[in-house]
Amino acid sequence: MRVQPPKIRTAALLLGLGLLAACGGKQTEVVAVPADEVECMARAMYFESNRSSRDGMVAVGTVVLNRVHSDAFPDTVCGVVGQPNQFAPGVMTKPMTDRGAPLARATALAVLQGERHPKVTRAKFFHAAWYNANYNNMHYVVTAGGNAFYEKRRAHLVTAPNPLPPLEGITPH
Instruction: Give the C-alpha distances (Å, rounded to integers) separating 84 from 6, 7, 56, 79.
Output: 21, 21, 22, 10
22-64 tens-digit pLDDT: 444 444 566 788 999 999 999 999 999 878 899 999 999 999 9
Return d(Cα 120, Cα 170) in angstroms, integer: 12
Q: What is the pLDDT of residue 29?
A: 61
Looking at every residue in the chain, the average pLDDT score rounds to: 86
106-135 tens-digit pLDDT: 999 999 999 999 999 999 999 999 998 989
Q: What is the pLDDT of residue 52?
A: 81
